[in-house]
A and B are shown apart, each in its own frame.
Chain A
Amino acid sequence: MAEPLLGVENLVRRFGGITATDNLSLEVAKGELHAIIGPNGAGKTTLISQLTGQLSPDSGTIRFAGRDVTRLPAWRRSALGLARSFQITSLLPDFTAADNVALAAQAHDGHSFYFWGNARKEKHLREAAHAALGRVGLGHRADTVVSKLSHGEQRELELAVALATGPQLLLLDEPMAGLGVAESARMVQLLQELRREFTIVLVEHDMEAVFALADRISVLVYGRVIACGAPDAIRANDEVKRAYLGEQHAVVGHGR
């Protein structure tokens, strides 16, 4: 088997006494859509943050596109083609949608120590921005300030920003979070299109979406991968069932 695009080995991250990522190993092959599911507090976002470099692991290695990136800062990983969308929308709220995306394109178009020319008039950056906005269906909102966009539109913009960095791998942290039914359906359709071009790691709570989209699913519980496989195998896995039901049981048990 060829080397995976993303390889995680024995990753550990602790917060005080809590081990949020517990000796976790994971492989994502080029071209696949790999979903990561797990109950709340399983350490999904912590994992994503280590993959993108916002958090550094206590031990273990992360390899991306044949390089050890474990100690690289976020911006360097982005330059290598790792893009993320945030679970809690994280955009530049006082910039327009087009500015947000154009800046992402600008970040991957050489350095930005240009002090004189008007960056908003750089044609190729604007065109890249409009192309990415068009892909996620936000073309008509290009000149709207982000803080005036609806939540659903901001979720879509998150995706457009990630696309504009020219990624090899998209790490999507709950792109459906907080979306309505119609918006969710649109997002699923969008992801169906994107998966043909990009390798995607998808963290998502919407099980219907996950089972419809994923090539493989990893189930995370207490920072460990307890199962990894095709959707059908995961659905049939006893340990997974127990983890989900067990957690529910535990919640009821502790909740007086």
Chain B
Amino acid sequence: MSFAFNARNAAAALLVAGLLLLPLYSSLSGNVFVLTLFTRIVIFALAAVSLNLIMGYGGMMSFGHAAYLGIGGYAVGILAFEGIGSGFIQWPVALLASALYALVIGALSLRTRGVYFIMITLAFAQMAYYVASSLARYGGDDGLTIYKRSNFAGLINLSSRVPFYYLCLACLFGGIYLIWRIVNSRFGLVVQGLRSNEARMQAIGFPATRYRLVCFVIAGTMCGLAGALLANNTDFVSPAAMYWTRSGDLMVMVILGGMGTLFGPVIGAIAYLVLEDVLSRCTEYWALIMGPLLLLIVLFGRGGIMGLLGRRGDG
């Protein structure tokens, strides 16, 4: 694969370097807050990257992706609450639970297309939200405080800021690498072909639904990992993590950054969350500025921020 020098690849390289060096900047400048903010951003970027796999590459407009944030989070929270603190148990359970949820929801939702698919994924996520709200033992509406972060037997201390940041970053880069491999693989070509023209793909011999379903499960599992990270980051998990507005946030991040590009969702997550942070400190009516701003980017920058950076590249 040749990495041509263009605006997109330059942006991606800059992004990777910036994220890697951020803790250094944070400690040199004494600005701890920026590291806290970016830990959160990196986690949401992972969620957005996973959503992009089905939305951008697969053409499946899932409006319920935040459900996995909650499922991954609750897996960690509930196990911690019940006295199982080991990350080696918590995290696999988080991934498995997310995969299972994706399998069931996907098998049902993928019978539909277009608006119906959007609505049904939304409905299932809301169902998950209400189920979590009714878990009285685990805090119900108020959520569940996690008193001890996942324990990895001394391998890595999640309570320590910098290592935790790098763990999140490693998960993000790992996720992006995985998606890069998938997108160029046989499987990835089939999924993108289905986005492009389903009837044609069926006519040349591909059973559409099973490929879509596997893609849906991969994305859900990856987002479940983001959920486990998020719960550890906030020491808290609540039904709000899977509320539909959260799913909407993730969609906006993907669209804002550029659907169907590797680094677009990361840029989208950074832009969205930094903007939210900056604007909310200026005025309590920050949404009033944020809304039109997003609208403008989506309207005039077809393909999001990545689209503004120029035509297709490897980034």
Q: Which A residues fall within an 8 A CB radius of B?
A: 52-54, 73-76, 78-79, 83-84, 86, 90-95, 99, 103-104, 106-108, 112-120, 122, 161, 164-165
The answer to whether A165 touches B204, judged by C-beta atoms less than 8 angstroms apart, is yes
- Complex interface bits, B206-219 against A, C-beta within 8 A gives 1, otherwise 0: 11100100100000
- Nearest B residue to A146 by beta-carbon distance? B196
Q: Say how far B94's CB is from chain A's closest CB, in angstroms.
A: 21
The answer to whether A95 touches B199, judged by C-beta atoms less than 8 angstroms apart, is no
> By DSSP majority rule, is chain B's interface helix, strand, loop, or mixed?
helix
Select A113's contact among B181, B192, B214, beta carbons within 8 Å. Answer: B214
The answer to whether A91 touches B200, judged by C-beta atoms less than 8 angstroms apart, is yes
* Apart from A54-B203, A104-B205, 14 more pairs, CB < 8 Å: A73-B202, A74-B202, A83-B204, A86-B203, A90-B197, A90-B200, A92-B200, A93-B197, A103-B189, A107-B204, A108-B205, A118-B185, A122-B186, A161-B204
Determine the chain B residues whose CB is within 8 A of the CB of A93 once the complex forms.
196-197
Determine the chain A residues whose CB is within 8 A of the CB of B200 once the complex forms.
86, 90-92, 161
A164–B200 alpha-carbon span in the complex (Å): 13
A228–B186 alpha-carbon span in the complex (Å): 44
**Residue from A52, A116, A164 whose CB has the most chain B CB atoms within 10 Å:** A116
Q: Can you report 23 residue pairs joining A to B where beta carbons are below 8 Å apart? A: A74-B203, A75-B205, A75-B208, A78-B204, A84-B203, A90-B197, A91-B197, A92-B193, A93-B196, A93-B197, A103-B201, A104-B205, A106-B186, A106-B190, A112-B206, A113-B187, A115-B181, A115-B188, A118-B184, A120-B184, A161-B200, A164-B204, A165-B204
Select B187's contact among A52, A86, A92, A114, beta carbons within 8 Å. Answer: A114
A1–B150 alpha-carbon span in the complex (Å): 74
A153–B189 alpha-carbon span in the complex (Å): 22
The answer to whether B182 has its CB under 8 Å from any CB of chain A is yes
A73-B207, A113-B214 are known contacts. Are A119 and B189 too (CB-CB below 8 A)? yes
The answer to whether B185 touches A116, judged by C-beta atoms less than 8 angstroms apart, is yes
The answer to whether A115 touches B185, judged by C-beta atoms less than 8 angstroms apart, is yes
Determine the chain A residues whose CB is within 8 A of the CB of B205 once the complex forms.
75, 78-79, 104, 107-108, 165
A120–B181 alpha-carbon span in the complex (Å): 12
Determine the chain A residues whose CB is within 8 A of the CB of B197 once the complex forms.
90-93
A114-B185, A117-B186 are known contacts. Are A95 and B204 too (CB-CB below 8 A)? no
Q: Say how far B224's CB is from chain A's closest CB, in angstroms.
A: 18
- Nearest B residue to A90 by beta-carbon distance? B200
Interface magnitude class on chain B = 20 to 34
The answer to whether A90 touches B199, judged by C-beta atoms less than 8 angstroms apart, is yes
The answer to whether B204 touches A114, judged by C-beta atoms less than 8 angstroms apart, is no
The answer to whether B204 touches A112, judged by C-beta atoms less than 8 angstroms apart, is no
The answer to whether B203 touches A103, judged by C-beta atoms less than 8 angstroms apart, is no
Q: Say how far A93's CB is from chain B's closest CB, in angstroms.
A: 6
The answer to whether A106 touches B181, judged by C-beta atoms less than 8 angstroms apart, is no
Determine the chain B residues whose CB is within 8 A of the CB of A104 once the complex forms.
204-205
- Nearest A residue to B207 by beta-carbon distance? A75
The answer to whether A112 touches B202, judged by C-beta atoms less than 8 angstroms apart, is no
**Residue from B187, B202, B203 whose CB has the most chain A CB atoms within 10 Å:** B203
A95–B192 alpha-carbon span in the complex (Å): 9
The answer to whether A112 touches B203, judged by C-beta atoms less than 8 angstroms apart, is no
Determine the chain B residues whose CB is within 8 A of the CB of A116 once the complex forms.
181, 185
The answer to whether B199 touches A112, judged by C-beta atoms less than 8 angstroms apart, is no
The answer to whether B199 touches A54, judged by C-beta atoms less than 8 angstroms apart, is yes
Determine the chain B residues whose CB is within 8 A of the CB of A114 once the complex forms.
185-187
A90–B204 alpha-carbon span in the complex (Å): 11
A65–B190 alpha-carbon span in the complex (Å): 27
The answer to whether B203 touches A78, judged by C-beta atoms less than 8 angstroms apart, is yes
The answer to whether B184 touches A119, judged by C-beta atoms less than 8 angstroms apart, is yes
Determine the chain A residues whose CB is within 8 A of the CB of B186 once the complex forms.
106, 112-114, 117, 119, 122
The answer to whether A52 touches B203, judged by C-beta atoms less than 8 angstroms apart, is yes
The answer to whether A95 touches B214, judged by C-beta atoms less than 8 angstroms apart, is no
A73–B192 alpha-carbon span in the complex (Å): 21
Determine the chain B residues whose CB is within 8 A of the CB of A103 once the complex forms.
189-190, 193, 201, 204
The answer to whether B185 touches A117, judged by C-beta atoms less than 8 angstroms apart, is yes
A90-B199, A92-B200 are known contacts. Are A107 and B206 too (CB-CB below 8 A)? yes
A112–B211 alpha-carbon span in the complex (Å): 8
The answer to whether B202 touches A75, judged by C-beta atoms less than 8 angstroms apart, is yes
A176–B188 alpha-carbon span in the complex (Å): 33
Of residues 164 through 193 on chain B, the ones whose CB sits less than 8 Å from some CB of chain A are: 181-182, 184-190, 192-193
Q: Say how far B169's CB is from chain A's closest CB, in angstroms.
A: 23
